[in-house]
Amino acid sequence: MKKFVITNNPLVKEKLSEYIEINYFDITYLDILKKVRDKVHKGYKLLTHPLSGSLKPNETPYKSIIIGHNNDKLDMESLMIIESSIQTAEKFIKDKNTPNWNEKILKDFQVIDISLIEQLVKEL
Amino acid sequence: MRLELGKINIKDVQFGSETKVENGVLYVNKEELITLISEDENLKSVDVELAKPGESVRIMPVKDVIEPRVKVEGPGGIFPGVLSKVDTVGTGRTNVLKGAAVVTTGKIVGFQEGIIDMSGPGADYTPFSKLNNVVLVCEPKDGLKQHEHEAAVRLAGLKAAKYLGEAAKNVEPDEVKTYESLSLLESVNKYPNLPKVAYVLMLQSQGLLHDTYVYGVDAKQIVPSIMYPTELMDGAIISGNCVSACDKNTTYHHLNNPIVEDLFEKHGKELNFVGVIITNENVYLADKQRSSNWSAKLAEYLGVDGVIISQEGFGNPDTDLIMNCTKIEKKGIKTVIVTDEYAGRDGASQSLADADPLANAVVTAGNANEIIKLPAMDKVIGHVEPANTIAGGFDGSLNEDGTIEVELQAITGATNELGFSKLTAKGY
């Protein structure tokens, strides 16, 4: 199965490109989830949970999700998970948008985000 | 497996020339404790402060809370696989400094969370405001990476708790409580007419600031397994989970798991508490499938009639929770799940990121999105700057007068998913 990461985390692009194909986009957390939903409709399946980590969707700006090619077949379980994840993220963002964090804090969020998938990517 | 917990009630904590317990007062030799913790070359400086119930003190950002304990009789030592050898613990006698705790603080990352107010409205939301706290303020050496910084603060807290616990070794407890689990066959023979119940304890296991350790092993790397409940009481499970302050399980929670406590209370009377199934909450969906398959398989193998399942953290653990619940229900075993809610500030939104009709018995520990205004305190221990950059806070949440407006999720233990708090909701 061809696997790759959909991410808006520049640190993932920088550090993990030698292990796995990285599709990097300079878009929001929510838009990453929506991009993954598009992929699921096109026959890809989720390999990691979209709401990985306990950081809230209106707290961290970064999200990295590993998906795999599912022979162009729609994986219903992936679709259910990504849809409810989008719903959850929208619920948080509706109450309060992600703050404009300073550079140092953004770096910390990048480090947490990569730590959620780094070991996995190296073992895949 | 049989454990006696010798509870020594601590009603005050003070600095003194010798670390000891006398007449319910814990005296702490500050210099000795600082010297011990400063042995870690990754820490540039360590300070120790005291915070007592009712004081106008705010502790933040809190990383972990740990209860001081010491093995008095029986194999092994406290925190096996981390500070002591990996002997199997949970038998013999353990003494506890009840009413005291070590609290660790540290600015490991810029955004932070974890508030303990020792008085005022915030104090009602955290059980740790009722304790006599020995607070470690740890500063890392320059340039220390987040992973090493987290490990240093985690170990500092455990070492301090072990150090203080040792002062309880030769003290006569105020109360001794005995907990005993028989082997499965013996237990079933002893209580043939009682329903058999197991506890499925889900452990946060995802990455930096999201980890839990079982006898020193990173819980990401375990497959579900069976433990005697008393192993928890000797520190077989410790927390490295610093994210989502309201619903993370601190080491204190693991030592004092209220679900274990309540199941023991009903054991031999209303039910037969046969043991704990531990499982993890990994990011990889195949891991979630494997672990939930295994927890269901173990529940089936134990032949239990019912299980209680507790989760830890926000978001994707909801999926593990529902997988555990549905797979165990499909084995013909009744389940009760324990969780908290993110139902929006108005409480009107869907609470969990996953759901299933089989999850028809749910205990909630409250809505973490609810807003609370915390008054200024005379003293802040730790780092006040993260107040603006705290989960559940928002721009300007630290006001000029020192008040903070945040969601409950910023308060340590506010909606703890073991139910170690006062919040809940009832539906009929």
Q: What is the pLDDT of residues A32-46, one digit of tens each?
A: 999 999 999 999 999
Which of A98, A75, A124, A91 minimizes the C-alpha distance to B346?
A91
Is B68 in the A-facing interface, judged by CB distances under 8 Å? no
Is the Cβ pair B146, A108 closer than 8 Å? yes
**Nearest chain A alpha carbon to B318:** A51
In angstroms, rounded to a whole number, what is the distance separating the alpha carbons of residues B253 and B237?
10
What is each CA distance from B280 to B13, B165, B314, B317, B328, in whole angstroms?
36, 29, 14, 9, 16
Q: What is the pLDDT of residues B66-115, one digit of tens each?
A: 999 999 999 999 999 999 999 999 999 999 999 999 999 988 888 767 99
Give A6's pLDDT tier (boundaries 50, 70, 90).
very high
Residue B400: per-residue pLDDT: 74
Q: Which among B208, B345, B395 has CB closest to A111? A: B208
For B112-121, B167-176, B229-238, which range has the lowest pLDDT when averaged over its residues?
B112-121
C-alpha distance from A40 to closest chain B C-alpha (Å): 15
B325 within some domain = yes
Phi, psi of A83 (to 5 degrees): -65, -45
Q: For residue B27, what are the contacts with CB-CB under 8 A and spacing of at least 6?
A: B13, B14, B15, B16, B17, B18, B19, B20, B21
B198-214 b/e with 16+ CB inside 10 Å = b? Answer: bbbbbbbbbbbbbbbbb
Q: What is the pLDDT of residues B232-268, one digit of tens each?
A: 999 999 999 988 999 999 999 999 999 999 999 999 9
Helix (H) or strand (E) segment spanning residue A21: strand A21-24
Contact B32, B19 (CB under 8 A): yes
Total count of domains within chain B:
1
Is A32 in the B-facing interface, judged by CB distances under 8 Å? no
Q: Is the pLDDT of residue B394 over 90?
A: no
What is each CA distance from B41 to A46, B38, B45, B160, B216, in whole angstroms?
42, 7, 10, 16, 21
Crossing angle of helices A76-95 and A29-41, rounded to 10°: 160
Is the Cβ pair A49, B286 closer than 8 Å? no
Contact B293, B338 (CB under 8 A): no
B417 within some domain = no
Phi, psi of B46 (to 5 degrees): -135, 135
Q: Is the pLDDT of residue A72 over 90?
A: no
Total count of domains within chain A:
1
Q: Which among A47, A54, A91 has CB closest to B284? A: A47
Q: What is the pLDDT of residues A7-21, one digit of tens each?
A: 999 999 999 999 999
In angstroms, rounded to a whole number, what is the distance separating the alpha carbons of residues B290 and A14?
31
B424 within some domain = no
C-alpha distance from A122 to closest chain B C-alpha (Å): 13
B426 within some domain = no
Active-site residue, B242 included: yes
Token duo for residue A111: 């480090």
The β-bridge partners of B284 are: A48
Is the Cβ pair B206, A102 closer than 8 Å? no
For A68-112, the three-class secondary structure string (H helix, E strand, C coil) is EECCCCCCHHHHHHHHHHHHHHHHHHHHCCCCCCCHHHHHHHHHH
Token duo for residue B277: 């199934």
**Parallel, antiparallel, or unpaired: how do β-strands B57-60 and B116-117 relate?**
antiparallel
Could you tell me how far CA B48 lies from the centroid of its own chain?
A: 22
Quote the mean pLDDT of chain B: 94
Query: By residue range, what is the domain housing residue B248?
Result: 2-410
Is A54 in the B-facing interface, judged by CB distances under 8 Å? yes
Share of chain A above pLDDT 70, in %: 100
- The length of chain B in residues reads 428
What is each CA distance from B398 to A79, B119, B394, B409, in whole angstroms?
40, 18, 9, 16
Q: Is the pLDDT of residue B386 over 60?
A: no
Is A49 in the B-facing interface, judged by CB distances under 8 Å? yes
Q: What is the pLDDT of residues B300-333, one digit of tens each?
A: 999 999 999 999 999 999 999 999 999 999 999 9
Radius of gyration of chain A (CA): 14
Q: Is the pLDDT of residue B393 over 70?
A: no
Query: By residue range, what is the domain housing residue A102?
Result: 3-123
In angstroms, rounded to a whole number, what is the distance separating the alpha carbons of residues B349 and A92?
10
Helix (H) or strand (E) segment spanning residue A51: none
Q: For residue B415, what are the contacts with CB-CB under 8 A and spacing of at least 6?
A: B246, B247, B340, B341, B365, B366, B367, B368, B408, B409, B421, B423
Which ipTM score applies to this complex?
0.94
B247-282 b/e with 16+ CB inside 10 Å = b? Answer: bbbbbbbbbbbbbbeebbeebeeebbbbbbbbbbbb
